[in-house]
Structure 1
Amino acid sequence: MSYREIKYNKKISILVILFNKELIESKTLNSLLQCKSTSDVSLKILNNGPREIKAEGELFQALASSFKDVMLESRLENAPLSKLYNEFIKINPESDYFVVLDDDSRLDEDFIFNINKTDADIIIPRILSVDDGNFYYPTQNGVVVEHDGWVDLSSLMSISSGLTISKKLVFAMLSHYPDVFDERFSLYGIDTSFFLRLRNIIKSDSYLLLAKCVSLIYHSLSRVQKENVSQFRVIERLYDFAITARHYPEYVGRFWLFKRIVKYSILMEFKYAWILFRYYVKGRHPKC
């Protein structure tokens, strides 16, 4: 593999999406304040509801002093994350790299510095679960990547939090698909569909895209939280499963969809069976 000349002083834009949190309650914002190399980085904080928050307080002022510019926007309707990610990319056409983050991740202090020094089209952090202390992402062929280094996009999978993508990758994605992140998904499934699309681009041999695993994020993963799984999460996972089966059958085969529908029917969980069938037919999340 040939590596290109590293470009320092990249134009980096970061999006942090808050939900049901004040600024000071966000682990992500607090940890960004501890990061190095932030003076040339743009930060957008998007409040996705349900109540208004103001661009004030010690944390906001500290962030405004550390970053090149900081903007707070409120979207109280709890908009689909896929749509918010795509809008963020569109309004920052001059950026070299785009970073998406949720509100409850803890970043290492070199997170931004590592983006600047890394020459890759997609940079993926290792994800350490704060719930059980284990690493879960990224994976290659289903095996967790244990060390920083170059990785193969043809078998890569991870979550969207901490994901960093280059302008070149954006162009590659838009040359094959109508959007960078699949707007038929709202919450779950956005990251999976993103990486499945990348696999298809790699197979087409139309672009050479380099991927590297760099940095570490401490994150609370819903898949690890076995107890007290809310009805909301259960239903959101069903939407994800059905829509993925519809549009990405190479990942979730129709046989597995049918098998799960039958299972729920036998268990008399007809509501779940109906959701799977209905949203497989519809092919998109009810909010999309």
Structure 2
Amino acid sequence: MRFYKKLYLVVLYKQKYSDSQTLRSFSEFYFGKNKNNFFVVWDNSPSSKTSVADIGRFLNTKNVDYIHTPENTALSKIYNTCLDRYSDFDFFLIFDQDSKIMRPDYDSYLEKTILENSEINIFLPQIYSQGKLYSPGKFWIFKGWHYKNLSVGIHKDKFYTAIMSGTCVRIDFLKKHNIRFNENLSLYGIDTCFFSDVRKIDKHFYVLEERLEHDLSENHLIGEELKKQTLLYLNSTFVINRKTVVKTIIVRFYKIYLKLKRKI
């Protein structure tokens, strides 16, 4: 029986590792006991007193690295750096700091699912916020929308996208097709752009029998903060669609529409 080497990345920002819901889940469910797992904790906080030994003790493993970048490195650069630095792994799993894993056997369940679906390159948990399924979802040019029902198993969709946290991707697939994270994007649109590139090669994905509870910050925005977030997100769609003239024109018209509606 083959065991895959999995690289778990968790990005922290202004939060201590022991307060991270994601890292607490890893610790409570003994992810560190799996010798095929390696953990990278990338800390973007302005200051930190954390050491790699602290993380290792917390996760009960020696397979760990801790990187602190007080300059707040762009997420796209973090993801690409990890792909380059740890390129001998089989799967890359990306998490933010506040994703709550629900099933205690998630790591072993994921390994079993990967083994049984060797033709699949993307494995996605179901991400809920305030009782609503947000990921996987759909996206076209500038517009995103939700699936009403999404069963566990293999799906094919030319419009699918997902929130990056919890994504499990086959590294050989990324290397074979030279798929990278777009470093013209630092925060908004990274996941959308990534899945747009993936879909050009492979429209299949696997929905896992796992529900992650996730706090989506945009759900709480109002007024000028919501307008600012909308504009940042819209600007990211220009980057995503810039190679297609027609799509770029559509985004420009949509931007004019939002301005007329005073939404940006």
Q: Same fold (TM over 0.5)?
A: yes
Larger strand percent: 2
Kindly state the Cα deviation for residue 124 of structure 1 after the two structures are TM-superposed. 0.5
Alpha carbons 2:13, 2:43 under 8 Å: kept: yes
Structure 1 stretch displaced more, 253-262 or 96-105: 253-262
Kindly state the Cα deviation for residue 222 of structure 1 after the two structures are TM-superposed. 3.1
**Pairs within 5 Å for 1:162-201:** 162-174=166-178, 179-201=179-201
**Pairs within 5 Å for 1:128-143:** 128-129=128-129, 132-139=130-137, 142=145, 143=147
Which amino acid is the alignment partner of residue 134 of structure 2? Y
Tell me the residue number matched to 1:278: none
| Cα distance, 1:113–1:248 mapped onto 2, change above 3 Å | farther
Tell me the residue number matched to 1:117: 112
Alpha carbons 2:55, 2:64 under 8 Å: kept: no
SS at match of 1:118: helix
Query: Matched residue pairs, number?
Result: 248
Alpha carbons 1:100, 1:162 under 8 Å: kept: yes
Structure 1 stretch displaced more, 141-150 or 228-237: 228-237
| Cα distance, 1:249–1:126 mapped onto 2, change above 3 Å | farther
Tell me the residue number matched to 1:157: 161
Kindly state the Cα deviation for residue 42 of structure 1 after the two structures are TM-superposed. 0.6
Tell me the residue number matched to 2:255: 260
| Cα distance, 1:237–1:194 mapped onto 2, change above 3 Å | same
**Pairs within 5 Å for 1:199-278:** 199-202=199-202, 211-214=205-208, 215-227=210-222, 230=225, 233-247=229-243, 253-261=248-256, 263-264=258-259, 267=262
Which amino acid is the alignment partner of residue 190 of structure 1? I
Tell me the residue number matched to 1:282: none
| Cα distance, 1:68–1:210 mapped onto 2, change above 3 Å | farther
Query: Matched residues, percent identical?
Result: 24
| CA–CA distance in structure 2, aligned partners of residues 263 and 167 of structure 1 | 38
Pick from 68, 83, 87 the counterpart of residue 74 of structure 1.
Answer: 68
1:101 and 2:99 aligned: no
Alpha carbons 2:121, 2:169 under 8 Å: kept: yes
Tell me the residue number matched to 2:20: 26
SS at match of 2:71: coil
Kindly state the Cα deviation for residue 103 of structure 1 after the two structures are TM-superposed. 0.5
Kindly state the Cα deviation for residue 230 of structure 1 after the two structures are TM-superposed. 3.0
Alpha carbons 1:37, 1:112 under 8 Å: kept: yes
| Cα distance, 1:140–1:255 mapped onto 2, change above 3 Å | closer
SS at match of 1:17: strand
Tell me the residue number matched to 1:62: 58
Alpha carbons 1:36, 1:113 under 8 Å: kept: no
How large is the RMSD of aligned CA atoms in angstroms?
2.8
Unaligned runs of 5+ in 2: 115-119, 140-144
Query: TM-score, normalised to structure 2's length?
Result: 0.81
Alpha carbons 1:138, 1:144 under 8 Å: kept: no
Which amino acid is the alignment partner of residue 42 of structure 2? L
| Cα distance, 1:37–1:263 mapped onto 2, change above 3 Å | closer
| CA–CA distance in structure 2, aligned partners of residues 245 and 210 of structure 1 | 21
| CA–CA distance in structure 2, aligned partners of residues 10 and 85 of structure 1 | 20
Kindly state the Cα deviation for residue 255 of structure 1 after the two structures are TM-superposed. 2.4
Unaligned runs of 5+ in 1: 1-6, 203-208, 273-288
**Pairs within 5 Å for 1:2-21:** 8-21=2-15
| CA–CA distance in structure 2, aligned partners of residues 91 and 123 of structure 1 | 22
